[in-house]
Structure 1
Amino acid sequence: MAEDLIVTRTLVIPAAELSERFSRSSGPGGQGVNTADSRVELSFDLADSPSVPPWLRSRMLGRLENRLVNGVLTVTAGENRAQLQNRAAARERLARILRDAAAAPPPVRRPTKPTRGSKERRIAEKKRRARTKDGRRGGGWD
């Protein structure tokens, strides 16, 4: 499964930049639990990757700073019993993380003043609520 990892239409990570490590998964697995290396660790060196443009790399490094170890992003998948399924899950997880980190920042919100209509609606709702609560004030419960 040495294929390039497609993150977005414009960002493709070559297979040569990904490294996979296999180990034994924890949990139940029957007779093959001690022999099958089905857990997958997929690593990508984001800090030194030539396939990520510098302007995008700085954005991704900033957003992923808590997940990186020396500039390397590592994803683990071990929920399936088959190594092939875990490899596919790890690749999808890595692509999703990189896609989210590469997303454009939201547009800057320019604060505006409330409109006259919204102010009037707010005051009308406050008065309606006050009348409701006023009706609850009854006589004395002595």
Structure 2
Amino acid sequence: MRPPRVDPTEVEFTAIRAQGAGGQNVNKVSSAVQLRFDVAASSLPDGVKARLLARSDQRLTADGVIVIKAQEHRSQPLNRSAALARLQAMVDAVGEPPRLRRATKPTWGSQQRRLQGKAVRSAVKAGRGKLRGEP
């Protein structure tokens, strides 16, 4: 099963100035992009929405909005596609529900091997004690 795709029309982009070194270009050009994606209002399946909102991620606000900032490229379109790719990676990570754990019992043989090992270890430790009649 393929993970659901994020609809680009549900994503809101804002152009902002990038941080860090870069000189005149960084100071005058808004090439960084801030992506905002409202999980609850999206067209994603309910299970994916619930798993996205349950994640402990600093990019997720208390209102259920994912905020991603992309500033690694010098051009706005590249930063826009990088932010969208990161959002899709988050959705892909929770796209498949986790497998249910089924409790199993140890086999009879593995139980016997464990008990045998304990008996051997017990005998080794018992042999380390003081002998009778010694001070």
TM-score (norm 2): 0.71
Higher RCO, Cα 8 Å, sep 6+: 2
Q: 1:128 deviation in Å?
A: 5.4
Judging changes above 3 Å, is the alpha-carbon distance between structure 1 residues 116 and 55 closer, same or farther for their aligned structure 2 residues?
Answer: closer
Alignment of 1:77-116 (within 5 A): 77-107=70-100, 109-116=101-108
Unaligned runs of 5+ in 2: 129-135
Contact 1:39-1:78 within 8 A present in 2 as well: yes
CA distance in 2, matches of 1:33, 1:55: 41
Letter in 2 for 1:123: L
SS of residue matched to 2:94:
helix
Note if 1:33 corresponds to 2:26: yes
SS of residue matched to 2:33:
strand
- Per-residue CA deviations over 1:5-41 (Å, capped at 9, x if unaligned) read xxx8462332221111111111111331201212211
The one of 8, 17, 21 equivalent to 1:24 is: 17
Alignment-derived partner of residue 132 in structure 2: none
Moved over 6 A (4+): 131-135
Unaligned runs of 5+ in 1: 1-7, 138-142
Q: 1:104 deviation in Å?
A: 0.9
CA distance in 2, matches of 1:131, 1:82: 72
Q: 1:106 deviation in Å?
A: 1.7
Contact 2:48-2:94 within 8 A present in 1 as well: no
TM-score (norm 1): 0.68
Judging changes above 3 Å, is the alpha-carbon distance between structure 1 residues 133 and 91 closer, same or farther for their aligned structure 2 residues?
Answer: farther
Identity in percent: 39
Aligned pairs, number? 129
Which range moved further: 93-102 or 126-135? 126-135
Letter in 2 for 1:102: G
